[in-house]
Amino acid sequence: MVRARRRHLPARHFELDEGSNLLGILRLSAYFGVTMALSPPQLLLLLLRLRVRNLLPRFYHRLTCRIIGLDVEVRGTMSRKAPTLFVSNHTSYFDIPVLGSLVEGSFVAKTEVGSWPVFGWLSKMQRTVFVDRRRHTTHRQRDELQRRLDAGDNLILFPEGTSNDGNAVLPFRSALLSVAEREARGETLTVQPVSVTYTKLNSLPMGYRNRAYLAWYGDMTLGRHLWQFARLGPARVVVEFHDPISIADFRSRKELTRHCYAQISGGVANALHGKAE
């Protein structure tokens, strides 16, 4: 059974009798049906190493957002330079289809994600780069990240290291942003901070308590959490792309990390309070 990583924040509980069982069944049936239908073509594209292997996941994530009721609002301009390292806050596994529907790229995730049922398979189908925090594997991860960047692949990174309750952004780990110090194709790597904020549920502003329907943290189990959300109405997600930067704009990686944190946490705060830059 997959659980969210434990944090000091207690999980908010919600009533099981809320929402529509029929809607939940229809949504999840459609989701798993689409997943089963598109997995074989994607596997073939990966085996043949065709360029379209990076495009099909984006189509899949867009379709997934429509099926499960995620209405994505985009603010700012997404970097079109390849490769770009997209740095984002992390609230839930829903961040994957939300960002995947917009960015043609691969996620950087902790190794254990690859063993999750269904989602582990899907992450491999999108060529996710798995990061093992054990020191003796660091060189292999570094080489894989460099290979992907040199190939022009965009990467999506969550520097909080885990998901949170959606009400604030957890501190960033500067070590996870070490990839920003690398060059790609002989140029300094472009970094773009991205804020992801869940703002409405059933067309109403999402308060502190209701944000737990989308945020995945604490002792929440993945299957139960997904079922509870699938039974509810649509949710609005605000994705804000902040100005692109690079390590060359700062004196150190820690300064770059602080800048990304300030941009992203500010974007989340603005979205939660209904503000737009």
What value does the mean pLDDT of the chain take? 84
16 pLDDT above the threshold of 50: no
Q: Please give the pLDDT value at position 238.
A: 96
14 pLDDT above the threshold of 50: no
Q: Please give the pLDDT value at position 261.
A: 96
Instruction: Classify residue 106: in a domain, yes or no.
Output: yes
Instruction: Classify residue 178: in a domain, yes or no.
Output: yes
9 pLDDT above the threshold of 50: no
192 pLDDT above the threshold of 90: yes
Which residues, 6 or more positions from 211, have their beta carbon under 8 angstroms from its beta carbon? 12, 165, 166, 167, 198
Instruction: Classify residue 34: in a domain, yes or no.
Output: yes
Q: What is the band of 10 on the pLDDT scale with cuts at 50, 70, 90?
A: very low
Instruction: Classify residue 12: in a domain, yes or no.
Output: no
Which range marks the domain in which residue 237 is found? Answer: 21-160+170-272
86 pLDDT above the threshold of 80: yes
Buried-exposed string 163-175: b where 16+ CB fall within 10 A, e elsewhere: bbbbeebbebebe
| CATH code of the domain containing 124 | 3.40.1130
Q: Please give the pLDDT value at position 194.
A: 98
Instruction: Classify residue 6: in a domain, yes or no.
Output: no
Instruction: Classify residue 37: in a domain, yes or no.
Output: yes
Instruction: Classify residue 118: in a domain, yes or no.
Output: yes
Query: Into how many domains does the chain fold?
Result: 1
Instruction: Classify residue 176: in a domain, yes or no.
Output: yes
